[in-house]
Amino acid sequence: MSGAGVGAVAGAEVGRAPLHVSAAAWATALGTGLDEVWEQLLVGRTGQGEAPSAEPLRNHRVAALPPGTAGDEGGDEGPDGDTVARHLAVATATGARTLAGAGLGPDDAGDVLVVIGTSLGPHADRPGPSLYDWVAEAARRLGSRREPVALSTACSSGSDAIAVAADLLTAGVAERCLVGAVDLLTPNKRRGHSRLRTMSRGEPRSFDRDRDGMLLGEAGGFLLLETAASAEARQAPCLGLLTGWGASNNALGPTEPDASGTAAARAVRAALDLAGRDPADVAVVSTHGTGTVLNDAAESAGLALLWPPAQAAPDSAEGAGAGSGAAPEPGGGADPGSARGTAAGTAGGVETGAGGGAGTGSATAAGPRSVAGDLPGPAGDVAPSRADGVGPVSGAGPVAFATKGALGHSLGATGVVEAITVLLALRDRRVPPVPHLERVMDGFPLRLPVGRALGIGDGCGLSQTLGFGGFNTCLLLEPAPAGRRAEGGGR
């Protein structure tokens, strides 16, 4: 489903019925309850904490799952625990909560198709069952009698899992899919990102002029995705709708980002086209926002192709950086930065959410591993911004936000986790502040919530992921129809 070169592909034809997200569940550094975690994000808390290592890492903080998240079957917990057992336990527990939230009991799961994505899963450190084998075991434990789908496309694995499930549902292969992703820390994942210098030495600061990298995290996330006919027949709860998805590939190399943003923008455009939407219909964008220099610059450039800064009107109080959105050239070791997929909003300025200032958080580093092209570069690669961090701001475009500074970069799981944040943002019409963001990088074309939650206007939402290997994926989500909003099933 990935386009060749900088081309883009989208699933299913325009005009088909939207797919229903009947329930969602996650396991994050801030907890497992949807509302519990979301409310902490809205007040600026993070899941960062120390995770000592004998390795000389650039940073020993991570956003690890709280003790007990993996349950009794998780074996030894923490980054040095039994990685296969932990991945299985988190997938099983999170998937089971999703099925229950959708109103499906153990006897109803037999015909549910399971689709799970991960980057390297438990295989970065030790030989063991293949990616498919542990996904098949998770599906069996969840009660599915169907052959599951396992996939790995680096940091876009979770988003691609959702897109693949959507294609299978649209093609009539299944009526219901339990789709998710799990990625937990291992010593080699920490060691690798430290040596790549994609890991921040301090705090992850997505889209900040002083950003220097990400911090890793752990997560699992699942959605129960089903056809409209299936959802309506059983009067399923509804957390939101999936109406578009698209993907592209940079075709540049294992880690190099597309500095022009063209490939990422094509994935966004493919999702919009599939949904029959325009950039002006988008109210909110969850960016990949790793906090690396190159990736954030590339993501900003891609967003500027969809919402040119020239269209900005300097009449909004909440701000992001202004400028051309130009990204540094991709040569040599530039620090990875991530770019965020974004949407154009509806009219007028966006009201500020009442969710208050940034709260203090528990400790655990969060930070996105940068997508294609996370190699560090000189400080000169970072364009200067105004001293107050606020430049001319669009009065009509979408609001962008980033959560990796709070939840860590959970690699292959990040796409599902961030899709859930978009569904919650559309439900509550507000987004959390970007953790540690103080001075917005020059050239960022969209509004960003700095220091406090921010309200969003009417419209749809985008979730964008950019992965190593040049994988760019965009999901387009819509609010639940009036009268069909989830009451507990998705919360």
DSSP letters along 224-292, please?
EEE-HHHHHHTT--BSEEEEEEEEEE--S-SS---TT-HHHHHHHHHHHHHHT--GGGEEEEE------
pLDDT above 50: residue 223: yes
CA gap 457, 429 in Å, rounded: 7
**Residues 6+ positions from 231 with CB-CB distance below 8 Å:** 20, 22, 238
Q: Identity (one letter) of the amino acid at 245?
A: W
Query: How many residues does this entry show for the chain?
Result: 491
Q: Confirm if 400 and 285 have CB atoms less than 8 A apart.
A: yes
Backbone conformation region of residue 305, classed left if phi is above 0, alpha if psi is from -120 to 50, else beta: alpha
CA gap 282, 272 in Å, rounded: 9
- Mean per-residue pLDDT, 381-390: 29
Q: Within 13 A of 184's CA, how many CA atoms are on the CB side?
A: 26
- Provide the Cα torsion 307, 435, 392, 281; round to 10°: 30
What is the β-pairing status of strands 176-183 and 149-151? unpaired
Q: How confident is the model at residue 485 (pLDDT cuts 50, 70, 90)?
A: low
Angle between helices 262-275 and 293-306 (to 10 degrees): 50
Backbone angles phi, psi at 14, to 5 degrees: -65, 145
Please give the mean pLDDT across all residues of the chain.
80
What DSSP string describes 427-452? HHTEEPPPTT--SBPTT--SB---SB
pLDDT above 80: residue 345: no
CA gap 233, 223 in Å, rounded: 19
Question: pLDDT tens across 89-99, in order?
Answer: 999 999 999 99
What SS3 state is found at 144? Answer: coil
Q: How confident is the model at residue 71 (pLDDT cuts 50, 70, 90)?
A: low
Extract the tokens encoding 285: 């964008």
Question: pLDDT tens across 167-202, in order?
Answer: 999 999 999 999 999 999 888 888 878 888 888 899
- Mean per-residue pLDDT, 234-263: 93
Q: What is the pLDDT of residue 8?
A: 56
Question: pLDDT tens across 307-342, in order?
Answer: 998 654 333 334 445 333 333 322 222 333 333 333
Task: Count the neighbouring beta carbons within 10 Å of the beta carbon of residue 77.
Answer: 20
pLDDT above 80: residue 416: yes
| Burial grade of 479 (CB within 10 A; 0-12, 13-18, 19 or more) | buried
Backbone angles phi, psi at 153, to 5 degrees: -135, 50
Extract the tokens encoding 128: 């063991």
Look at 280 and 124; give whichever has higher pLDDT: 280
Answer whether 0.85 is exceeded by the pTM: no
